[in-house]
Amino acid sequence: MRSSDDRSTAARIRDAAITEFATSGVNGTTVRAIAAAADVSPGLVIHHFGSKDQLRVACDEYVAALIRDVKGEAMTSGAPFDIVGAFRSIGHIPAAKYLARTLIDGSPHVAELVDEIISDAVDYLGGGVAAGTIKPTEFEQERAAILAIWGLGALVMHEHVERALGVDITADFSTNPEAITAYVRPVFELYSQGLLTDQAAHAMSEALDSVSTETETKTP
């Protein structure tokens, strides 16, 4: 009896699928395994989602929505943009592990998922600009894409991040949020203080302006 679980049957199946996909990958996960994890029949999985592929799409959409909601709220409160940080308050499913695995596995839906994450990043970075917590830019789409891809790349390479920093960024930090500070503190420093000195930034700006001028001069 599931008296302590007030999720709908569809939500239980989706969450079970996220856990199974994160552990075994999409190809290595069967509908029967998902059904067993959700404590339902395989037929009920198909009834709610139609197929394993459609269930995977629902999982992608749910994880993207979690990132959107958590980061949208954090951005307006002054938190730095970091996809990994978006999962620190999501303890009921292994969302970070799922996203890392699905990016590696690949599917026709991965490009759509990444595009959605980037599109959402444009929106909540814009919300941060409006709230006065993020600097404005003339490269709204490009900045959002780069930051999103950097964050996703860290998830894909989480084993190397753990070797270098001693923290598994795909772990559940809901009960021990301090454990991820070895990753978050350097990220925060990069976002809040930048990397280049004023002198180096000025030289880089001049170099980029020079390249742009040369390009415009050569254009017929």
Closest by Cα among 75, 85, 79, 83 to 124: 75
Tracing tokens 């395989």 back to the chain, one arrives at 42
Closest by Cα among 60, 187, 169, 170 to 114: 60
Mean pLDDT of 22-43: 94
Provide the 10 A C-beta neighbour count for residue 46. Answer: 15
Segment (H or E) for 107:
none
- Measured over all CA atoms, what is the biggest interatomic distance in the chain, rounded to whole angstroms? 74
The yes-or-no verdict on residue 217 having pLDDT over 60 is: no
| Whether the Cβ atoms of residue 103 and residue 110 lie closer than 8 Å to each other | yes
Residue 214: the pLDDT is 58
Tracing tokens 């079970």 back to the chain, one arrives at 16
Residue 107: the pLDDT is 67
Q: Is the dihedral of CA 197, 200, 206, 211 positive or negative?
A: negative
Residue 61: the pLDDT is 87
Give per-residue pLDDT as tens, 118-165. 988 898 888 889 888 889 999 999 999 999 899 889 989 999 999 999
Provide the 10 A C-beta neighbour count for residue 82. Answer: 23
- Which token pair is 193? 């203080």
Residue 4: the pLDDT is 47
| Whether the Cβ atoms of residue 42 and residue 35 lie closer than 8 Å to each other | yes
Q: Say which residue, 21 or 3, is predicted with more confidence.
A: 21
DSSP string, 163-210: HHHS--TTS--SS-GGGGHHHHHHHHHHHHH-SS-HHHHHHHHHHHHH
| Whether the Cβ atoms of residue 21 and residue 56 lie closer than 8 Å to each other | yes
Give per-residue pLDDT as tens, 36-79. 999 999 999 999 999 999 999 999 888 888 877 766 665 555 55
| Whether the Cβ atoms of residue 147 and residue 71 lie closer than 8 Å to each other | no
Could you give the count of Cα atoms lying within 13 Å of 90 in the half-sphere of its Cβ?
27
Domains of the chain, each with CATH number or no CATH: 53-218 (1.10.357.10)
